[in-house]
Amino acid sequence: MSKKIIKIEDLKREFVMGTETVHALRGISFDINEGDFVTIMGSSGSGKSTVLNILGCLDQPTSGIYEIDGVKVKDLSRNELATIRNEKIGFIFQSYNLLARTSAIENVELPLVYNSKVSSKERRKRAISALEKVGLSDRLDHTPAQLSGGQQQRVAIARSLVNNPVMILADEATGNLDTRTSYEIMSLFQELNQQQGITITFVTHETDIAAFSNRTIVLKDGDIIQDYKNHNIQSVADELAKLPKQDDEL
Ligand SMILES: Nc1ncnc2c1ncn2[C@@H]1O[C@H](COP(=O)(O)OP(=O)(O)O)[C@@H](O)[C@H]1O
Ligand SMILES: [Mg+2]
């Protein structure tokens, strides 16, 4: 059996807004095993980002249990939380969150800057290797403005990989991209999961994306309404090959 890396139990998150309480998560439970590729689906406002932010230790639940790698997150100090965020988890967002006027390689080096165990030479080496993995070895010195949306998202993925995280959390990572580019990015996620065994939790509201993962959790109004394994995982590369070719491709 694979190792359990995430365990949540009866997790609730409430936001108090004046006299009103928003029940963003109403007591959800699930485990994620090492090597899983989970898509979290649901319409806008169903609680997807809220659960992802808690999984990534960016936010704390109102109540319930959250364990990562066997450690109860509630018991951790601020410093320990920061270390987990920085060293165990890679984040990818819809809006890339890259530093403008900063080269691809420097953006990717960023998570290692505060890691005293990694020399500047090693840092550069690891950043170059991460950018090679996402197919951008010829764009090391480009700034975000000099890159397409898909390329910027690749830089963000390289940045998320540079610390060798146990888990990648992606929130609508293909939300700003056209179909072909978003399939190219999905193909990269599938490769990272299938070839390198990286655990991925991928939030999306696009139903076709779920077919590429091995498990789907569907949220509705803060509750899990479906949680199922996908026994017929589609290859993104195959789907990409079926798309019509574009003449103006970069
Ligand atoms: N910081 C916040 N303050 C108040 N309400 C919030 C906050 N974050 C999320 N919510 C509410 O919680 C619910 C779930 O939001 P969210 O997790 O962002 O949904 P999704 O990502 O599925 O679109 C929504 O009703 C949203 O308005
Ligand atoms: Mg969201």
Quickly state the pLDDT bin for 166 (edges 50, 70, 90): confident
Query: Does the CB atom of residue 15 touch ligand 1 within 6 A?
Result: yes
The helix-helix angle for 149-161 and 179-196 (nearest 10°) equals 20
Please report the pLDDT score of residue 171 as a whole number: 97
Give the type of residue at 149. Answer: G
Query: Does the CB atom of residue 49 touch ligand 1 within 6 A?
Result: yes
Please report the pLDDT score of residue 1 as a whole number: 64
- Inter-residue contact 222 to 15 (CB < 8 Å): no
Superfamily of domain 34-63+77-240: P-loop containing nucleotide triphosphate hydrolases (3.40.50.300)
Q: Quick check: 93 pLDDT over 60?
A: yes
Please report the pLDDT score of residue 4 as a whole number: 94
Averaged confidence pLDDT in the chain: 94
Indicate which ligand has the atom closest to the C-alpha of 48: 1
Indicate which ligand has the atom closest to the C-alpha of 44: 1
Mutating to test ligand 1, I would choose from 40, 50, 62 the residue with most ligand atoms within 8 A of its C-beta, which is: 50
Distance 223 CA to ligand 2 centre (A): 15
Query: Does the CB atom of residue 17 touch ligand 1 within 6 A?
Result: yes
Quickly state the pLDDT bin for 69 (edges 50, 70, 90): confident
E strands, the chain, are: 4-17, 20-33, 37-41, 63-68, 71-72, 89-93, 167-171, 199-203, 215-220, 223-229
Q: Which of 82-91, 123-132, 138-147, 212-221 has the lowest mean pLDDT?
A: 82-91
Q: Quick check: 208 pLDDT over 90?
A: no
Cα separation, 8 vs 64, in Å, equals: 7
Strand, helix or coil at 64? strand
Cα separation, 38 vs 16, in Å, equals: 30
Mean pLDDT of 101-125: 94
DSSP state of 165: -
Please report the pLDDT score of residue 50 as a whole number: 98
Take atom 5 of ligand 1 and give the residue whose Cα is closest.
15
Task: Report the atom number in ligand 1 closest to the C-alpha of 222.
Answer: 14
Give 231-240 pLDDT, tens digit per residue.
999 999 999 9
Quickly state the pLDDT bin for 102 (edges 50, 70, 90): very high
Take atom 7 of ligand 1 and give the residue whose Cα is closest.
15
Distance 116 CA to ligand 1 centre (A): 36
Query: Does the CB atom of residue 52 touch ligand 1 within 6 A?
Result: no
pTM of the model: 0.93
Take atom 24 of ligand 1 and give the residue whose Cα is closest.
45
Give 3-16 pLDDT, tens digit per residue.
999 999 999 999 99
More confident residue, 49 or 88: 49
Mutating to test ligand 1, I would choose from 14, 15, 206, 217 the residue with most ligand atoms within 8 A of its C-beta, which is: 15
Every domain of the chain and the residues it spans: 34-63+77-240
